[in-house]
Amino acid sequence: MEFESLHEVLRSLYDEMMPLCSQMSGVARGIAGLGALFYVAYRVWQALSRAEPIDVYPLLRPFAVGVCVMFFPVIVLGTINGVLSPIVSGTHQMLEGQTLDLRKLQAQKDQLEKEALLRNPETAFLSSNEEFDKKLDELGWSPSDIGAMAGMYMERASYNLEKQIRDWFRELVEILFQAAALVIDTIRTFFLIVLSILGPVAFAISVWDGFQSNLTQWISRYIGVYLWLPVADLFSCMLTKIEGLMVEKDIEQLADPNFIPDGSNTVYIIFLLIGIVGYFTIPTVTSWIIQSGGMGNFGRNISQSGRKAGSLAGAGAGAVTGNMAGQVKGELLTKK
């Protein structure tokens, strides 16, 4: 099974696990209902005890959250996934375009490398069986020719062994590179499934006082984890573009008839190793894209600013009142 098929399996797994959200809606509705009861009762009692009019608008919050809990797969998950899915599709198309361009350049480079080896009489027999047989036919059966033939066989065997080792190591690094991407996608799918299934409970708990920020934190974490795949595609697109630029540089060098390639692919392997390490920085990079501090700090700062302004206004009014009282008192004493 190819790696792309495994990614498709993970996507289908997420779709198949989504119906489990409805099983948590019953528990979530109970938690949200109890929280809404205490939420409304506390604010109504507080307004009555202060002889203040009841503000109905803030009391609508638990009912709005309750509607989201009841229709969580459609309202919450459907909306978020519908907004973010074009981002995933767009980055994946970018990656596919870069991959197709790289394959064309790589095929052109391989052909030029083969032609460059054939141009050199000393290395032509290493890459071509026809040139190897032709060179053997040119030799006779004298002791010196037999020694030359043995040396050719040993040199060809050494070249093939070295090439096989390089190709094996390159394939190993490529497998590790693909495995790193698969690990990120697997963890992402697991996080999304957990957040989706327990999402109704998280929304229900946000109805209770002291847990209001739980709603915004859940949304920010879900979006952050969902964006792991687009960020991974962008990272792969960047690496593919870098590799394409390196291949273009090699093609320019191979256009020179005097250039002989070494075929080590060292730089390519180094970039694959960098890519393996870079894949595990994707969660950190994604956390920079979206963050949520909630409305608690904002509201607290507004309240503190209002209290300070009220204190200053009260102090100013007191000072003005004191001055006016002093002036009136002075005028009365003067008249007397």
112-159 pLDDT, tens digit per residue, is 776 666 665 555 555 555 555 555 555 555 455 555 656 666 666 666
Closest CA to 65 of 191, 209, 193, 190: 209
d(CA 256, CA 250): 10
- Please, which pLDDT band fits residue 106 given cuts at 50, 70 and 90? confident
Check: CB of residue 68 under 8 Å from CB of residue 201.
no
**Tens digits of per-residue pLDDT, 264-317?**
567 777 878 888 888 888 888 888 887 765 444 444 444 455 445 445 444 444
* pTM of structure: 0.70
- Read off the tokens for 201: 């409970």
**Which two structure tokens, joined as six digits, stand for 165?**
């080792």
What's the rounded Cα separation, in Å, for the pair 59 and 101? 57
